[in-house]
Amino acid sequence: MPGARPKTRDADATRARILAAAKEEFARLGLGGARVDEIAEKAQANKRMIYHYFGSKENLFRIVLEEAWLDIRNAEQELELDHLPPEAALETLVRFTWNYYLDNPEFITLVNSANLHRGRHLEGSERLRTASRRFVNMVRDILDRGVAAGVFRPGIDPVQLNITIAAIGYYYLTNRHTGAILFERDFMTPQALAERLAFNIETVMRLVRA
């Protein structure tokens, strides 16, 4: 929940409250479903302020998206995977990705919304491209070290591996509602979550092992 409005005027705080409320609403209802009035109310701000700080609903969406992505890329960097042996580094990345999706469920729905709109709102974000390049290099480094140590097979594309690591967690969580109906099981019990994580680690390890 965005915090309460401060007594005195504070541009940064108001901007931040709007951003937090927008993230919630866009994640819950998508770009088309979210209401600017609702965002303003949740942020304890006036709708006029949204247009003052962000210009348009679409631009607000754009900034929410960019922030969300920069957040996960920063968190990945803080894992310092280059300090771990390759197998431990990869398993840590799989666990981290899974837990990040669990702890930040709005990230997944925001990404879905962005893609429904064909990625239009992320085009031209140089900050994001830079962060992503660093991330891919980190995974490439893990793979290279694993090959050198003889524990990973050579020739694996780090981008394909990244996509797979994200996919096996992301899909399970984003499609948990229809999954629960089709497969007649609760996807979100602690046991179900633990089983899925173990399955995913096994999948990735078998994929890379020499």
Burial of 60 per CB tally in 10 Å (0-12, 13-18, 19+): buried
Q: Which residues contact 36 (CB under 8 A, 6 or more apart)?
A: 47, 50, 57
String marking each residue 18-37 x if it binds DNA according to CB under 7 A: ----------------xxxx
Helix (H) and strand (E) counts in the chain = 10, 0
CB nearer to DNA: give 109 or 174. Answer: 109
String marking each residue 47-86 x if it binds DNA according to CB under 7 A: xxx-xx---xxx----------------------------
CB 82 within 8 A of CB 141: yes
Decide which of DNA, a second copy, none touches 9; Cβ closer than 5 to 8 Å per partner kind: DNA
Q: Which residues contact 5 (CB under 8 A, 6 or more apart)?
A: 14, 17, 44, 45
CB nearer to DNA: give 39 or 90. Answer: 39
CB 173 within 8 A of CB 108: yes
CB nearer to a second copy: give 84 or 128. Answer: 128
Decide which of DNA, a second copy, none touches 104; Cβ closer than 5 to 8 Å per partner kind: none
The footprint of DNA (CB under 7 A) covers 5, 8-11, 14, 34-37, 45-49, 51-52, 56-58
